[in-house]
Amino acid sequence: MMLAGAALAAPAALAADGKALYARCVACHGAQGEGVAATGGPGIAGTEAWYLERQLQNFATGLRGSRPDDTRGQSMRAAALTLATGAERQAVAAHVAALPRPRAANVAAPTVAGRNYFNAICSACHGSNGLGNEKLGAPRIAGRSPAFLAGELAAFRSGRRGAQDGDRLGAQMRAIVAMLPDATTERDVIGYAASLGQ
């Protein structure tokens, strides 16, 4: 019983610290992590802590957000660099992961083509429900906003994301994006992913 109590206390302590650190994020991601369209900061509430932590580290090391043509990523990299230690990244990630995940707004009904393509390609890593797979490093994409999903696919395609030396997981997504046959398929598959988990 003592052990269980100690195990429960640790995440709460992390979340308290993370809440204070999260003040630095509010301007771009919103008080509840719902995203702020004007700044390009996506909704991040309820994203798994392991993925948040890895992305914060990617921004800090420059694997993500260091390319001159990536102005959005650069603004995020500046914020990530204010987190001084892995413990700070962990604490703020725990806080964000615990925020309630909003539903994507105005998601159109998914198409059969989108579902088929998703199940044929994306589900291998992101899961048939789009909930992600930590072992493969693939995040939840279910219910993310279509604008966010389209923006990230465009970033992978252009190499703003995933093309830096050492970004093994980003490189995987670049290879996948290169396989998407056309804009219609991309729109369909984004629509399907956004509709999952609604």
Site residues (CB under 6 A) for ligand HEC?
24-25, 27-29, 39-42, 44, 47, 52, 55-56, 72-73, 75-76, 79, 83, 92, 96, 121-122, 124-126, 136-139, 141, 149, 151-153, 155, 161, 169-170, 172-173, 176, 189, 193
Nearest distance from C-beta of residue 67 to ligand HEC, angstroms: 10
Cβ proximity to ligand HEC: between 31 and 124 the closer is: 124
Cβ proximity to ligand HEC: between 9 and 23 the closer is: 23
Nearest distance from C-beta of residue 130 to ligand HEC, angstroms: 9
Other CB atoms closer than 10 Å to residue 41's CB: what's the count?
21
Nearest distance from C-beta of residue 121 to ligand HEC, angstroms: 4
Cβ proximity to ligand HEC: between 82 and 105 the closer is: 82
166 vs 182: CA distance, rounded Å: 28
Cβ proximity to ligand HEC: between 25 and 105 the closer is: 25
Contact between 15 and 91 under an 8 Å Cβ cutoff? The reply is yes
Contact between 71 and 62 under an 8 Å Cβ cutoff? The reply is no
66 vs 164: CA distance, rounded Å: 9
80 vs 58: CA distance, rounded Å: 9
**Tokens found for residue 81:** 């660099």
Nearest distance from C-beta of residue 7 to ligand HEC, angstroms: 24
Give the torsion sign (CA, 131, 114, 106, 151): positive
Cβ proximity to ligand HEC: between 87 and 136 the closer is: 136
Q: How far is CA 119 from CA 24, 123, 193, in A?
A: 38, 5, 10
Nearest distance from C-beta of residue 30 to ligand HEC, angstroms: 10
